Amino acid sequence: MEKPMTAPIEFWFDFSSAYAYFASHEIEALAARHGRQVIWRPYMLGVAFKATGMRGLSGTPLKGDYARNDWRRISRETGIPFTLPPGHPIVALPASRAFYWIEARDPAAAVAFARDAFHAYYVEQADMTDPAVVAGVAARRGLDAEEVLAGMADPAIKEKVKAISEEGVARGVFGSPFVLVDGEPFWGWDRLAMVDRWLARGGW
């Protein structure tokens, strides 16, 4: 008898989310432990903020100071390199547009780009608001920077990022990282351990 198919885990995130950066180091291994694949879904967190009235952590009194300390603490605990870029947070629209242009051609390359984009921002402190810099990050995996740059400017790609962001919010996505497992929502890097248990036990 054929083994039933299991739905992929949806990994929603904004490239300017530090917690999503840490989650990006764990999500694939977590999914693999349970025979799942991951759909990476960058979206614009600002769309969620408009819907909820929330503010970003970095710009919220007290919470911002806590988060900056927490990110450094997570880095020390996990060994994942992390340096908060000057001017954080940014509007990471160029990276999201590049991701979806690449994904339309090679989904695996898009995931590799996402990892590289996170690394460029949180380790190298690259200016990921600059489309040329983002295209240069994509070129690290053999992609043509000029083609990526042109793709990011394609009106269809711009509309796709907007539509996916709105779709995410319509489905209840409001933070970063945000994980959907068989329709069950989990918000935050600190919920990955619960996601692991949920998959192991089949929910509760």
pLDDT at 71: 97
pLDDT at 111: 98
Q: Is the pLDDT of residue 56 over 80?
A: no
What average pLDDT does the segment 15-25 reach? 97
Is pLDDT larger for residue 63 or for residue 75? 75
Tokens of 14: 């904004």
Separation of alpha carbons 5 and 32, rounded Å: 14
pLDDT at 5: 52
pLDDT at 4: 46
What average pLDDT does the segment 84-95 reach? 91
Alpha carbon 165 to chain centroid, angstroms:
12
CATH superfamily of domain region 9-201: Glutaredoxin (3.40.30.10)
Neighbours of 146 (CB within 10 A): 11
Alpha carbon 126 to chain centroid, angstroms:
17
- 53 CB-near residues (< 8 Å, 6+ apart): none
Q: Is the pLDDT of residue 8 over 50?
A: yes
Q: Grade residue 33 by pLDDT with cuts at 50, 70 and 90.
A: very high
Q: What is the mean pLDDT of the chain?
A: 94
188-192 LR contacts (CB < 8 Å, sep 24+):
188/19, 189/19, 189/20, 189/22, 189/23, 189/74, 192/23, 192/26, 192/27, 192/30
- 106 CB-near residues (< 8 Å, 6+ apart): none
Separation of alpha carbons 12 and 81, rounded Å: 22
DSSP code for 2: P
Cα dihedral angle (46, 50, 53, 58), rounded to 10 degrees?
A: 10
The three-class DSSP label of residue 57 is: helix
- Per-residue pLDDT tens digits for 101-146: 999 999 999 999 999 999 999 999 999 999 999 999 999 999 999 9
- 144 CB-near residues (< 8 Å, 6+ apart): none
- Determine which one of 16, 17, 75, 165 is catalytic: 17
Residue pointed to by tokens 């319509």: 170
Report yes or no: 154 and 147 within 8 Å, Cβ to Cβ.
no
Is pLDDT larger for residue 156 or for residue 63? 156
Catalytic site residue 165? no
Q: Grade residue 2 by pLDDT with cuts at 50, 70 and 90.
A: very low
Separation of alpha carbons 86 and 183, rounded Å: 36
